[in-house]
Chains A and B, each alone.
Chain A
């Protein structure tokens, strides 16, 4: 069975602060994908990143960065110099790589509020 845990239910920061959203996962699959999605109030999921389980390189995209630690089964997401527009619910998700195991298992989400 797969499980994704986002222990932080809600985080509130002031604009320009850095913030890290935690994600811990469990899976029996030897190969898998990890994802982060942003869900603004409109509800539409915005894809942020997908990582392969065999690629532990950290990734940076503008103000966003991701830290994948296979040893601790974590895939944390950091927003640097947060902005009000970053306010949303963020979901971490996991899927297998094999055909038939591609459905996503989502974490419970972390609501980020960035105050001006």
Chain B
């Protein structure tokens, strides 16, 4: 099956710093990538949808200036958490979908962010 990787798998940073998380589709071209966030013992919530070469679409309540998403190529999307604070500590998971007609959506292994 298709493989999606995320890097880093785990990151600890100080409050006020920025953290970049990469999501890569390893064996297919992903025209659409989704970013989800999961707080401890909660469900996954969609943060934003990014289509290659265009601006991301953010869900209501997600600050686009704080969570910068770049989908510059068909195999890579990045999520940058700017000026991170402890309340941003969460599990961030991306998923990737190939092409407009594709029905498969593949999840990355997730990135656990801890902001001290």
Residues of A within 8 A of B (CB): 33, 37, 42-45, 47, 50, 91, 95, 97, 99, 102-109
Taken together as a complex, chains A and B put the C-alpha atoms of A73 and B105 apart, in Å, by: 23
Residues of B within 8 A of A (CB): 32, 34, 36, 38, 42-46, 49, 91, 93, 95, 97, 100, 103, 105-107, 109-110, 112
Contact A107 B109 (CB under 8 A): no
Chain B positions within 8 Å of A107 at CB level:
43
Interchain nearest-CB distance for A93 vs B (Å)? 8
* Chain B residue with the shortest CB-CB distance to A42: B109
Chain B positions within 8 Å of A91 at CB level:
43-44
* Chain A residue with the shortest CB-CB distance to B106: A47
Taken together as a complex, chains A and B put the C-alpha atoms of A106 and B103 apart, in Å, by: 17
Chain B positions within 8 Å of A33 at CB level:
103
Interchain nearest-CB distance for A46 vs B (Å)? 9
* Chain A residue with the shortest CB-CB distance to B109: A44
Taken together as a complex, chains A and B put the C-alpha atoms of A111 and B46 apart, in Å, by: 21
* Chain B residue with the shortest CB-CB distance to A35: B105
Contact A45 B93 (CB under 8 A): yes
Chain B positions within 8 Å of A108 at CB level:
42-43
Taken together as a complex, chains A and B put the C-alpha atoms of A77 and B51 apart, in Å, by: 33
Contact A104 B110 (CB under 8 A): no
**Residue of A43, A97, A99, A105 touching B110 (CB-CB under 8 A):** A43
- Some 18 contacts from A to B, beta carbons below 8 A apart, are A33-B103, A43-B38, A44-B109, A44-B110, A45-B44, A45-B107, A47-B107, A91-B44, A95-B105, A102-B32, A102-B97, A103-B46, A104-B46, A104-B95, A104-B105, A106-B45, A108-B43, A109-B42
